[in-house]
Amino acid sequence: MHKDGTVLVAGGGGFIGGHLIKDLLAQGYRNVRSVDVKPLDSWYQVFHEVDNRILNLQYADACEEAVDSVSVVYNLAADMGGMGFIESNKALCMLSVLINTHLLQASVKHQVSKYFYASSACVYAADKQVSPDVIPLKESDAYPAMPEDGYGWEKLFSERMCRHFQEDFDLPVAIARFHNVYGPEGTYDGGREKAPAAICRKVIQAVMDRNHQIEIWGDGRQTRSFTFISDCIEGISLLMQSDHHEPVNLGSSELVTINGLVDIVEEIAGITLKRTYNLSAPKGVNGRNSDNTLIQSLFGWEPSTRLRDGMEKTYNWIREQMLGSIETQPESVPDSA
């Protein structure tokens, strides 16, 4: 991966995309093209030294423009969010298959040297995630296929498409299955946020409102692992420097219940809240954790940021945003008589 070539980050206006661009610039990449469908003022991070373009990559002509003269493609573009979003927008999530399809076709046409695809732990078979007492998921556990409806099926299908484009068109690919990536500079409200950011927001709001209550989706006993953003970016870099082309788990193996995640955020905030449980809210599978045997064997590495440390950084960033939004609100003006 020559640093003088043009690198495309599809979904560069998103959470992971913004952090990836920041890392590429820090590594010395001189020509980075960032593409996202959102207006520029809605991007999570904007780097003005980058070629920023607003394109809808569900369309083939937009992908042609995005990939033209590019040597490396990072495909992080998708219509997605937390469990509340993906369970209510299955068709929208599946339409992201158009993005990967057209980017792969354009990458073959323009002779791209490496293609990265951001997959998800939602590809894993549901019958292996029915208990909070989980056995960590190995890469092979995606088959026989029974992924998350909608979003998971799209990710699994797109993984296979990447594989066959490598086989049939000699397009080198790298595929990472992300496990619940979180951190600063991400979504924390509006319906697309994931559990770490949502819980931080709820605790901060409880502190600000002084009501000392929090609603938890599900019974709080469901288990997950959460991957801090810096670990995610380091894992992507390692994959792109390797010749490995099969899907690889990119996730922390530090397992926690949702109740335990709330405990951590309460401790950071210095508060104890009364908990209510919304059993009708989307909660996803009962248990999921990452088996990191493969990534350890490939690189002698795995995500290592302690959940407590990552959550404190995330909490502090979200708190700054929430307090800043209050401070910038205009003062109310009384109605004229």
131-158 pLDDT, tens digit each = 888 889 999 999 999 998 999 999 999 9
Do residues 301 and 238 make contact, with C-beta atoms less than 8 angstroms apart? yes
Tokens of 47: 């780097």
**Active site residue: 74, 117, 151, 188, which one?**
151
**For range 17-39, the mean pLDDT:** 97
Do residues 315 and 204 make contact, with C-beta atoms less than 8 angstroms apart? yes
Do residues 150 and 86 make contact, with C-beta atoms less than 8 angstroms apart? yes
Pairwise CA distance, residues 285 & 108, whole Å: 37
Quickly state the pLDDT bin for 27 (edges 50, 70, 90).
very high
Which residues sit opposite 248 in a β-bridge? 176
Main-chain dihedrals φ then ψ at residue 221, nearest 5 degrees: -95, -10
In the annotation, is 151 catalytic?
A: yes
Helix (H) or strand (E) holding 75: strand 72-75
pLDDT at 335: 39
The pTM assigned to this predicted structure is 0.92
Q: How far is CA 118 from CA 6, 159, 184, 233, in A?
A: 19, 9, 19, 11
Sequential DSSP letters for 29-47: --EEEEEESS-GGG-S---
- Spatial CA neighbour of 163 closest among 186, 139, 131, 127: 139
Tokens of 312: 């404190």
308-324 pLDDT, tens digit each = 999 999 999 999 999 98
Instruction: Count each helix (H run) and each strand (E run) in the chain, helices first.
Output: 11, 13
Taken in order of first residue, the domains within the chain and their CATH numbers are 6-182+227-250 (3.40.50.720), 195-224+254-288+306-325 (3.90.25.10)
pLDDT at 326: 66
